[in-house]
Structure 1
Amino acid sequence: MLKSLKKELRAIKKTKSRALKEKSKKIKKEKKNQIKKVKDEIKALQTMLNTKRRSKISPRYI
């Protein structure tokens, strides 16, 4: 009886650690996705700035 209880406890601990690992993986993935989104937004804004600068500069020289 005692051995079976110990085995059950071990199993419970393992499932808890697995669940925690899965949660941490999900959180890491979400953070990576957020970082990618922000980087993409920054790139888009930079391209917009560059195009605005070009459109402002080009008429002067022409």
Structure 2
Amino acid sequence: MIQNMIKEGKVVPSEVTIKLLQKAIQENGNEENRAAFEKVTEIEPKFVLFFDCPEEEMERRLLGQKPGE
């Protein structure tokens, strides 16, 4: 539906956009996104996970490399 509306040059309904953003933030959000989402929607999350590691380590893991590669 969204792709068809965009192809036709129509605006996707706000409710649809908000629900997509809500789902994305809930599934993949970070602390900044969580705080902004909570403030705007007045929805308090049940829990938040935060992973902190160096950028090099994240890149290595995303690329599936072993330490030292």
* Bigger Rg, which one: 1
TM over 0.5: no
Question: TM-score, normalising length from structure 1?
Answer: 0.28
Relative to its length, the structure with more helix (as a share) is 1
Question: TM-score, normalising length from structure 2?
Answer: 0.26
Q: Which has the higher contact order (CA 8 A, sep 6+)?
A: 2
